[in-house]
Amino acid sequence: MDLQWLRNFIDIVDHQGLVAASRYNYLAPSLLSKHLKKIEKTLNKSLIARSSREFKLTEEGRCFYDYAKKILDLYKESETALNNQKKTIHGTIRLALPTPLIRLSLLNKLTDFLRRYPDVTLVLVKGNSLNVLLEHGADIVLTFSSTAKTKIIFKKILCLHRALLAAPAYLKKHMPIKSPQDLLQHNCLVNISACPDYQWHIKQQTILISGNISSVSTETLIPLAVQGTGIIYTYIELAEQELQSKKLQRVFSMKQDEAVPLYLAYSPLLASNACMALINFMLEQSNH
């Protein structure tokens, strides 16, 4: 039985007749009569006493009217429940990123995302290779690469700025650095996961650097640079606190910082509602 038949029947009863109901909902009386007859045929019952000049429901009509209203109310409730269910963001998101990027202020706002969506669980996974996304079950990858891959979408989230940083005490103690070539005379702290060949690409020059400490983590090297151990080449956004407190400073001027775009990579075919909520949240935050 069509729900519209039920709505029309209720209108007929509420407005005490076909003509008044047709004026109310702008439907032809003949159409309302047709729907009423279809209901009566389906039920095999007369719902309106046609022998009376006044509009009057039969006993069966009064009973059906009450149930028809309940049916429509339940239908409305089910629509509301389903719509609310669609709006509910829940599930687990696996976010892959290089470990040093945990220091980004943008990622510190992930707690705000989890407050907004309390039914979401966030799992941080080490790595920024697209293989993490394609082969190892990550939902979203923060990556510096935007190499075209089938069915992968890249969204630029922000630009990081790479610069040479050192402690003021180190720079005061050692010979001045006026060009990238001068780095050959300095102790360079190397992130071997980013620079396995010990080459820094600075101001369109490639410098084969050396130093007495290397690490797979920028997080390890930043405190060593603060202590005056040597020079690091890293993203200034990862050392914001140290720069603001003047524990570290740029070796060259700010205009010479190298801008490196950072992307969110994901598969639109696999992304859940929770994943899309996180992607939109991070893009929103990056624009602030």
Q: Which of 103-107, 162-166, 266-270, 283-287 has the highest mean pLDDT?
A: 162-166
User: What pLDDT shows up at residue 244?
Assistant: 92
Residue 35: partners with Cβ closer than 8 Å, 6 or more residues away = 2, 4, 5, 8, 9
Residues 140 and 189 in one domain: no
Strand partners for 166: 249
Residues 109 and 245 in one domain: no
Q: Could you tell me the CATH number of the domain that includes residue 272?
A: 3.40.190.10
DSSP state letters, 71-117: HHHHHHHHHHHHHHHHH---EEEEEEE-GGGGG-HHHHTHHHHHHH-
What are the structure tokens assigned to 216, written together? 């797979």
Model confidence over 188-233: pLDDT tens digits?
999 888 888 999 988 788 999 999 999 988 888 999 999 999 999 9
Burial class (CB in 10 A: 0-12, 13-18, 19+), 190: buried
Residues 18 and 102 in one domain: no
Residues 154 and 279 in one domain: yes
Residues 72 and 189 in one domain: no
User: What pLDDT shows up at residue 232?
Assistant: 95
Examine the fold and report which residue of 57, 87, 117 is the final residue of a domain before the chain moves on: 87
Examine the fold and report which residue of 24, 57, 87 is the final residue of a domain before the chain moves on: 87
- 259-286 mean pLDDT: 85
User: Which of these, 229, 228, 245, 285, lies nearest to 262 by C-alpha position?
Assistant: 285
| Domain of residue 119, residue span | 91-158+261-286
- 24-45 mean pLDDT: 84
Q: Is the pLDDT of residue 272 over 80?
A: yes
Q: Is the pLDDT of residue 87 over 70?
A: no
- Name the average pLDDT for the chain: 84
Residues 139 and 277 in one domain: yes
- Higher-pLDDT residue of 131 and 244 is 244
Examine the fold and report which residue of 42, 66, 87 is the final residue of a domain before the chain moves on: 87
Q: Is the pLDDT of residue 160 over 90?
A: no
Residues 278 and 137 in one domain: yes
User: What pLDDT shows up at residue 261?
Assistant: 87
Query: What are the CA-CA distances from residue 210 to residues 164, 184, 218 (Å)?
Result: 14, 7, 16
Residues 106 and 222 in one domain: no
Residue 171: partners with Cβ closer than 8 Å, 6 or more residues away = 177, 249, 251
Q: Is the pLDDT of residue 109 over 70?
A: yes
Burial class (CB in 10 A: 0-12, 13-18, 19+), 155: middle
Residues 99 and 235 in one domain: no
User: What pLDDT shows up at residue 146?
Assistant: 73
Q: Could you tell me the CATH number of the domain that includes residue 30?
A: 1.10.10.10
Quickly state the pLDDT bin for 142 (edges 50, 70, 90): confident
Strand partners for 153: 266
278 vs 232: CA distance, rounded Å: 32
Residues 147 and 281 in one domain: yes
Residues 76 and 113 in one domain: no
Residues 247 and 266 in one domain: no
Q: Is the pLDDT of residue 86 over 60?
A: no
User: What pLDDT shows up at residue 186?
Assistant: 95
For the chain, what is the domain count? 3
